[in-house]
């Protein structure tokens, strides 16, 4: 609310303020106070100290939100309960309103007190003064612009070398007329005259240009108009007000302008709604703004959780799509295995590459297939078939999980849309009890939608699953949580390295030598001895591995073990 609208509001309220008694002071939100009275004409005066849009108006409407009382509230209640308003004034050029009270406190210094309401954007404040106008308490600390010492009387924030509106009304100021011809007359007028905001400065310049009178005369005329007993008020918005309220468009609502006069500069660019007086316009606008702002804040945590869940689901969907693509590529190994089977090469021989005929393309062609030379052709073929079977199972699993993820994303989107569509407190309170269940259901990740992920390496060699820890924490998990008592356990001797576990579901007494060598080579490779030519590796059953008390993570003690020397090699 600009200064000229405040002038009109004060003038409109002044006749009704005589002998008004304060019944109770309520802090109805963190930065809002309601002064309830004993009068039917003005049942309550509300003060909102929002940094962006501070306001004072007559209303006792309270959205259903709880706010803890502050120390400042206790001070206001102590001094102003049952106090009588004996004066109500506003400096013409300042966005400051002052109430003077006659209190019931039996003290000469506190028998008369003043409550100063500073409605300055970005620095609103509520200040309680004693009879000597010295500071008793304030909602926030006074700014340096007040220029007050510790025990000095209160003074308004200084506005520099600007002209007061009182001077404009009482003196002839020909220098103001020169402002109409500068490059930016609106900014120049606001910089020269205190109490002029952008809307009313533009209106004054428009009227001066239209009438041909001086700027001084136009300012005087407008001030006289807003101070008169006006019966009408206008609320200007960039879009129709009904549309803004229907869409809960707080950004547009915050841009609205309240005016006690019809603004010619906004007639073409804005929609307007007419009210009986400035009080009615202020009450309607600020109650709607407060209600929608608090409702938006109430919905924000739920919406934030749902959007976070949606983002996580989108990330999982991308990972599953990558897995799906990888599985589709792995399924092509079946064709390679079939070509190797019909290649005519000896199955028990070892090859680096095999040349085969590819009959699966548009026309037959000879291609070379690289193989693992440490394995026979038969073992290479078996490995490719196993990879294809695993990929086929994985692709089906991923497809099912992708469908579940997309369903959950759609449900989260729908829930966000429904919450955003709530525009009144009754609807919000009706579903408030279900919100915790909604947040839990939409943000939790059920086990069936997330593929089980091990935090350690897994390798399959000759049909045996081998687990490899990545660090000390994973080593402990592999050894003491994942491994069974009869599984085989390996670790490089005299060096730090990974714990390696070879699954032993059939509880064999000894490990097959080929698997033992390859598992030992893995233990040597994933250790600090990786670059050595030969490394000694200890191996034993998992049941012979123990963790000493109060030892570091990953440190173990072996009750018995055997050793084998191998060359480090990665079979992963």
Average pLDDT value for the chain: 86
Cα distances (Å, whole numbers) of residue 39 to 9, 20, 35, 85, 476: 18, 7, 11, 12, 75
Token digits of residue 537: 């590796």
Instruction: Answer whether 214's CB lies under 8 Å from 176's CB.
Output: yes
300: Cβ contacts below 8 Å, ≥ 6 apart = none
What per-residue confidence (pLDDT) applies to 438?
Answer: 52
Residue 436 is predicted with a pLDDT of: 54
Which residues have C-beta within 8 Å of that of residue 367, sequence separation ≥ 6? 355, 356, 357, 358
pLDDT band with cut points at 50, 70 and 90 for residue 506:
confident
* pLDDT confidence tier of residue 445, bands split at 50, 70 and 90: very low
Partners of residue 370 on adjacent β-strands: 353
pLDDT in tens, 450-494: 444 456 788 888 888 999 998 888 999 899 888 999 999 999 998
User: Confidence class of residue 38 from pLDDT cuts 50, 70 and 90?
Assistant: very high
For residue 262, pLDDT beyond 50 = yes
Q: Give 377-426 pLDDT, tens digit per residue.
A: 888 888 888 877 777 777 788 888 888 888 888 888 888 888 888 877 87
Query: With 70 as the cut, is the pLDDT of residue 444 above it?
Result: no
| Among the ranges given (131-135, 142-146, 431-435, 467-471), the one the predictor scored with the smallest mean pLDDT | 431-435
Comparing CA positions, the residue from 188, 213, 183 lying closest to residue 198 is: 188
Query: Residue 174 above 90 pLDDT?
Result: no
Which whole-number Å values give the CA distances from 224 to 7, 87, 229, in the listed order? 10, 22, 10
Residue 325 has pLDDT above 90, yes or no: no
Which pLDDT score, from 0 to 100, does residue 447 have?
A: 42
Place of tokens 């407060």: 290
CA-closest candidate to residue 467, choices 446, 491, 440, 438 = 491
Per-residue model confidence as pLDDT tens digits over 54-113: 999 999 888 777 677 789 999 999 999 999 999 999 999 999 999 999 998 877 778 999
Buried b (16+ CB within 10 A) or exposed e, 317-352: beebeebbeebeebbebbebbbbbbebeeeeeeebe
What is the pLDDT, as a whole number, of residue 343? 81
Q: Which helix (H) or strand (E) holds 394?
A: helix 377-421
């Amino acid at each position: 609310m600009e200064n000229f609208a405040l002038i009109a509001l004060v003038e409109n309220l002044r006749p009704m303020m005589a002998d008004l008694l304060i019944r109770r002071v309520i802090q109805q939100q963190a930065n809002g106070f309601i002064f309830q009275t004993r009068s039917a004409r003005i049942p309550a005066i509300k003060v909102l100290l929002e940094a962006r849009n501070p306001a004072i108006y007559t209303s006792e409407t309270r959205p259903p939100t709880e706010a803890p009382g502050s120390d400042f509230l206790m001070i206001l209640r102590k001094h102003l309960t049952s106090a009588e308003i004996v004066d109500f004034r506003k400096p013409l050029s300042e966005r400051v309103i002052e109430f003077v009270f006659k209190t019931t406190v039996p003290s000469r210094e506190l028998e008369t007190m003043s409550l100063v309401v500073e409605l300055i954007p970005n620095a609103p404040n509520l200040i309680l003064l004693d009879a000597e106008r010295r500071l008793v308490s304030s909602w926030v600390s006074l700014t340096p612009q007040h220029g007050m010492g510790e025990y000095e009387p209160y003074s308004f924030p200084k506005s520099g070398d600007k002209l007061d509106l009182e001077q404009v009304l009482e003196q002839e100021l020909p220098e103001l007329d020169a402002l109409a011809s500068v490059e930016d007359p609106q900014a120049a007028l606001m910089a020269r005259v205190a109490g002029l905001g952008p809307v009313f400065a533009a209106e004054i310049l428009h009227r001066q240009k239209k009438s041909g009178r001086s700027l001084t005369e136009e300012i005087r005329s407008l001030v006289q108009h807003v101070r008169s007993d006006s019966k009408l008020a206008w609320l200007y918005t960039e879009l129709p007000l009904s549309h803004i309220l229907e869409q809960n468009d707080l950004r547009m609502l915050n841009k609205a302008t309240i005016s006690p006069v019809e603004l010619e500069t906004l007639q073409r660019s804005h929609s307007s709604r007419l009210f009986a007086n400035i009080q009615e316009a202020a009450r309607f606008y600020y109650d709607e703004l407060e209600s929608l702002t608090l409702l938006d804040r109430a919905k924000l945590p739920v919406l934030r959780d749902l959007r976070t869940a949606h983002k996580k689901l989108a990330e999982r969907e991308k990972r599953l799509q990558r897995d799906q693509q990888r599985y589709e590529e792995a399924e092509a190994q079946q064709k390679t295995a079939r070509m190797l089977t019909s290649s005519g090469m000896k199955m028990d021989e070892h090859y680096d590459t095999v040349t085969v005929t590819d009959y699966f393309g548009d026309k037959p062609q000879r291609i070379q297939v690289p193989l693992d030379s440490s394995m026979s052709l038969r073992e290479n073929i078996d490995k490719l078939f196993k990879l294809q079977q695993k990929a086929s199972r994985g692709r089906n699993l991923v497809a099912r999980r992708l469908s579940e993820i997309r369903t959950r994303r759609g449900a989260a989107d729908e829930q966000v849309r429904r919450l955003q569509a709530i525009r009144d407190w009754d609807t919000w309170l009706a579903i408030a009890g279900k919100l915790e269940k909604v947040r839990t259901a939409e943000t939790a990740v059920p086990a069936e939608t997330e593929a089980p992920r091990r935090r350690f390496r897994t390798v399959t060699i000759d049909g045996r699953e081998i687990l490899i820890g990545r660090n000390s924490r994973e080593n402990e998990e592999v050894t003491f949580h994942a491994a069974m008592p009869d599984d085989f356990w390996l670790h490089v001797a005299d060096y730090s390295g990974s714990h390696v576990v070879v699954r032993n579901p059939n509880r064999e007494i000894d490990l097959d030598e080929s698997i033992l060598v390859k598992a030992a080579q893995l233990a040597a490779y994933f250790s600090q001895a990786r670059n050595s030519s030969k490394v000694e590796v200890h191996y034993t059953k998992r049941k012979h591995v123990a963790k000493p008390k109060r030892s570091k993570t990953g440190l173990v003690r072996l009750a018995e073990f055997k050793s084998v020397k191998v060359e480090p090699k990665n079979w992963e």
